[in-house]
Amino acid sequence: MEYNHKLARREDGNKYTFFIIDETDPSLQNITDIINHIGGEVVGGTTSGIDAINKIENTEADIFVIDILMPGIDELNVIPKIKDKNIDPHIIMVSESIDKSLMSDSFILGEKYFITKPYDSSQIFDIISRICNDIRDEKEDAAMLIWNKSKAVNVMIIEDSKLTTKLLRAHLEWFACNILATSCCGKEAIYELQKDPSKIDLIVMGLVQQDMKYDKLIYELISIRPDISIVVISATEKEEVIDKVRLLGAKGFISKTDFNQKKLYKILKKIYPH
């Protein structure tokens, strides 16, 4: 291999680690060789989606590389498994061609890095370098978070997706928030808040609810406690929806298509400045 650029190391001095899922042994070996050559460390790999599910449970990696066309199970089932185990995983999607429908579904899951085959050392290095920079930025920003409050922030999560709720809980608890209540629908959340409005400081809610529209839910929550801070999370990026959410009184909006710890940090920092 003639490509001689090397990846920077993690803050602890170790190499960034990778888990690779590719549909063929030669292709898996090829990208493994490239990553090792540019200074990464491949800690696991497989050519089977089903095998990947089992191995992911016992593998710690900074970055996951997933072939869209791997046998056994498509990548859209593997990604939730990775996210179920990792608070903020970094994932590279791979395919011989970019299928627009798969790209759309992947973006909904928050994936934004894509590589096309055949593998090219410079392309892989450039994308991995961007991810490594993102990882360093997220850790640096998160480490700066200091609450200007005399007590921890008490949070209610309103979300019908168990996976999204679990991820939100993990992120928020990392920031020393107390998750006092979770609800899968608006009416249940309203009932919970009515019991003791003073105990909840922040509500993180999905835009789409099973039993009521988001505008009515926000209105009801603020009616119960006018100074409550509300953050809305959704897959939509429509400006008119985001503007309406803010006009209704929400303090922040997070898109599921680009959700990570850094984005949440910026919202929390805005609501609770130093």
Lowest-confidence segment of 68-77, 122-131, 147-156, 181-190 by average pLDDT: 68-77
Decide which of 142, 173, 202 is a domain's last residue: 142
Residue 12 domain-assigned? no
Q: Give the domain CATH number at 62.
A: 3.40.50.2300
Q: What are phi and psi of 234, to 5 degrees?
A: -160, 160
Decide which of 142, 170, 204 is a domain's last residue: 142
The chain-wide mean pLDDT, for the chain, equals: 81
Q: What is the pLDDT of residue 73?
A: 56
Spatial neighbors of 270 by CB under 8 A, at least 6 apart, are 251, 252
Let me know whether 125 and 167 are in one domain: no
Let me know whether 85 and 41 are in one domain: yes
Over the stretch 76-109, which tens digit does the pLDDT of each residue have? 567 777 767 665 678 888 877 655 444 444 444 4
Spatial neighbors of 20 by CB under 8 A, at least 6 apart, are 28, 31, 32, 35, 42, 44, 45, 46, 64, 65
Alpha carbon distance 64, 82 (integer Å): 9
Q: What is the pLDDT of residue 150?
A: 42
pTM over 0.85: no
Q: Which residue has the higher pLDDT, 167 or 192?
A: 192
Residue 137 domain-assigned? yes
Q: What is the pLDDT of residue 274?
A: 56
Over the stretch 169-227, which tens digit does the pLDDT of each residue have? 888 887 778 999 999 999 999 999 999 999 999 999 999 988 999 999 999 999 999 99
| Domain enclosing residue 129, as ranges | 17-142
